[in-house]
Amino acid sequence: MRQTKLTKAARGRECQVRIPGVCNGNPETTVLAHYRMSGTCGVGMKPNDLQGAWACSACHDACDGRSQLISRAEARQHHAEGVMRTQAKLMSEGVVAAC
């Protein structure tokens, strides 16, 4: 898989998904976790990197359904909020610009 600037920017960052009781708080495990939503992805196609959140390995597992420590609905809510927090950080750092 090709690494984009936004994918690489997730390395070493604080988890922005922050699921209470799940988040391991380890920035060494942080990756860009894509938020999957109908109309933005499909078989073999990931959403745009702007639809991603910096997520530690534990939060990423919850968001992708690999762990069932919280409900799918809760995981999706935390993931969506993480996407918005990640976008805010990227804007404040001048990596991406709002229109």
| Residue 34 annotated as catalytic | yes
- Exactly one of 34, 60, 78, 79 is catalytic; name it: 34
Q: What is the pLDDT of residue 46?
A: 73
The structural domains of the chain, with segments of one domain joined by +, span: 5-92
The string of DSSP letters for 36-49 reads P-BTTBBTTBPPPG
Return d(Cα 78, Cα 3) in angstroms, integer.
24
State the pTM of this model. Answer: 0.88
β-sheet bridge partners, residue 34: 52
For 18-66, write each residue's pLDDT tens digit. 999 999 999 999 999 999 866 556 667 677 888 999 999 999 999 999 9
Region of 67 on the Ramachandran plot (φ > 0 left; ψ -120 to 50 alpha; else beta): beta
CATH of domain 5-92: 3.30.50.20
The percentage of residues in the chain with a pLDDT greater than 90, rounded to a whole number, is 71
